[in-house]
Amino acid sequence: MRAMQLALDGESDAEKAFFVADLSYVFRQHERWQKCLPGIEPFFAVKCNPDPYVLRLLAALGTGFDCASNGEISQVLRLGVDPSRIIYANPCKATSFIRGSAKSGVDMMTFDNTDELYKIARVHPGAKLVVRILTDDSKSLCRLGLKFGAPLVSVPALLAKAKELNLDVIGVSFHVGSGCYDSSAFADAVMRARAAFDMGKEAGYAFTLLDVGGGFEDGTFEATASILTDAISRYFPNREGLRIIAEPGRYYVSKAFSLATNIIARRAPPEPEKGSQDVEMDPEQPSVMYYINDGVYGAFNCILFDHQTPQPYVLSLSGSFHVPASVPLRASSVWGPTCDSIDCVCSITQLPESLQVGDWLAFDNMGAYTVCAASQFNGFEVSNVIYTTGGGAGAAEVRRALKMFVDEAVDV
C-alpha cells in the first residue's frame, strides 16, 4: 500500500518487487531436521541461497556449510564460522581455489578424478579428502551425476593414486540430485557408499566420514529421513567413529521466501463497442498479458535453471488485500519486464478479470535458486529482501539466536 502511494507521489521505482523472508521457517526446518535425522549433521548448501541473514541464523544454530567456491568460503568465514564446519564440496576446483582454501584452513574437500588429486597434492597436501561417487539421480529435478561423481568401478584406482600421493582420504560422499522426488534413491546411494568404504579399506584407508549430500525435499522429508535412516542402519550397523553429514539446501529455504511483484503493464483485447456481439474467448488460451517487474533474468531464473513452475496469486486488487472469491477469472499469461521474449513467468494461469496495472501478484516458495542467480540484465535491479521472524512458533528463538550471534561476533 505504501508503494502504491509513493508511486502516485512520483517516487522513482516505488513499486519495485521485493522478497519477504520468514526466518522462523528456517528455524522450524532445522528443528524438524534434528527430530528426524538426529545423527546427521546438516551442512547448508550455500549456493542454494547465500542470503546473509539465513547464513547468520544457521551459523548461530550450529550447522556446517557446503561451499563450492572461494567466494562462498570467504562469505561463511567472515561470519566467524570455524573452517572445520565447512566442506569444499566441489569435486573440480581451480588450483588457485584449492590453494586459497588451504590458506583459509578449510581442509575437507571432495574429489572424483585423478587430476584433482595431483592438484591437491601440489598445493594442499594436508587436505582431508572425500571421494564423491556416482549415484542414480534420474529421479531428481537437477541431475548432478551428469557432471560429478566417480563410478564405483573407478574408485579403487582413484584411492590407489591418492595413497601413492600420500593424501589423506577420510570418507565418501554422494548426491542423489537436487530436488529428489524418489526417496528410495537414498537407499541405493548408501549401498554404493558402503561398497566404496570397503574399497577404501582394501586401499589402506579407514574412512570416518559419510556425506549423504543433498536432494532433500520439504514435502517428502519424513519419508526420505526414514528410508535414509534404515539404509544407514543396514549398511553401516557399526557407526562407532563414523561421522555422518548432509548437504541440504532448498529444504531449509524454499518455503521461507515469497516474492511480491507489481503489474507494470497489461495487454488485453479492446473492449467491445456498445451493441456489438461479444467475441467468444477460448478458456484454454490466455487473452490478457500481464507484465510484472521481476522475471526470468531475475528471481524467476528458477524457471530456466531449476525446472520450477511458479504460480501467481493476487496480493492486492484495486488497492485492497481482500479478493472476493466471486471475482470472475480469465485465462492470462504473466511476463517479466525485460525486452526478451523468453522472459515468460507463467504461460497460462487464471487471474481476476478486473486485475489492472498497479495491482500486485505474489509467488510462494521462492527461496531456493532464485535471488542467488538473479542478474541485472536490461538494467533491472535484483529484488530486495524484507526480513521477518513471523508471529508463530520459532519467532522468539530466531531473535534470540541472531542476538547471540551478534554478541559473540562483537566479543571476537
Residue pair 182/156 in contact by the 8 Å Cβ criterion? no
In a 3-state reduction of DSSP, which class is residue 10?
A: coil
All CATH 2.40.37.10 domain ranges in the chain, comma separated: 257-366
All CATH 3.20.20.10 domain ranges in the chain, comma separated: 22-252
Homologous superfamily of 257-366: Lyase, Ornithine Decarboxylase; Chain A, domain 1 (2.40.37.10)
Contacts of 139 by beta carbon, 8 Å cutoff, 6+ apart: 176, 177, 180, 181, 182, 185
- Per-residue model confidence as pLDDT tens for the chain (412 residues): 777 777 777 777 778 999 999 999 999 999 999 999 999 999 999 999 999 999 999 999 999 999 999 999 999 999 999 999 999 999 999 999 999 999 999 999 999 999 999 999 999 999 999 999 998 766 655 555 566 789 999 999 999 999 999 999 999 999 987 655 567 889 999 999 999 999 999 999 999 999 999 989 999 999 999 999 999 999 999 989 999 999 999 999 999 999 999 999 999 887 765 655 555 566 678 889 999 999 999 999 999 888 889 999 999 998 888 888 888 999 999 999 999 999 999 999 999 998 999 999 999 999 999 989 898 888 888 999 999 998 777 888 998 888 887 777 644 4
Calpha distance 48→302 (Å, rounded): 11
C-alpha cell of residue 369 = 535458486
* Global model pTM greater than 0.75: yes
Cα–Cα separations (whole angstroms), residue 95 to 119, 127, 397 = 6, 13, 41
β-bridge partners, 278: none
DSSP 210-272: EE------STTHHHHHHHHHHHHHHH-S--TT-EEEE---HHHHGGGEEEEEEEEEEE-PPPP
**Class assignment of domain 22-252?**
alpha beta
Calpha distance 62→172 (Å, rounded): 23
In one letter, which amino acid is 236?
F
For the annotated catalytic residues, the residue numbers are: 339
